Structure 1
Amino acid sequence: MPIDFGNVPRGRSGSEEEIERLGTAYKLKRKKFQSEICRLKSKTWAELIGTIDRDPSLLYRLVLSRLRTASPSLTEILEEDVLERLLDSLFPRNTLPDPRSD
């Protein structure tokens, strides 16, 4: 919905009545614009709910996509030596001799 502000002069060169009229018109159009945004948000929300009812996996994908971008991963946060010690304790390296190569 395009907004038409009509013939709006730049600056405050108009009379007090003109400024008052334009201010009132601006407030009215702004209120209409905000109510249109609210109406479209409600409509879109209802469509999203309907889509989730038809495809329950969509909700799972939406939540995961929000969670992934919310914070960096644990490997990005930890210092390199701490991460290496943690990985070594969880997944010990094979220090036994390899019978195939011996």
Structure 2
Amino acid sequence: MANVPKKLFRGVASTTLTGVYTVPADTTTIITNIVVANAGTSSASILVKLGAITLIPNTPVPGNGMITLDVTQVMDVAGQLVEVQGTSTSLGVHISGVEVTA
């Protein structure tokens, strides 16, 4: 098995729910870290879903603040999505993990 640490997504949160990562065929993905930074001066909220599960439910991020989440969330169904939505495009999101292939 090959274990490959990866940046699964790095970008700005859209204000509509958007798929930012799709689990590839024949791969198990393990989400390990999520960081959300708010570059704006006003509070904004972030929603992160892993498949059908809401992991971060419209959580406020203070202006010029950040949240970090260390997790071990296995996604083992090809085509499963990681989805992100913010209330402001001032939210930067970084999701990292490991892809495991046979």
Q: TM-score of the superposition, structure 2-length normalised?
A: 0.18
Decide which structure has greater strand share. Answer: 2
Report the structure number with the largest CA radius of gyration.
1
Bigger relative CO (Cα 8 Å, ≥ 6 apart): 2
Decide which structure has greater helix share. Answer: 1
Q: TM-score of the superposition, structure 1-length normalised?
A: 0.18
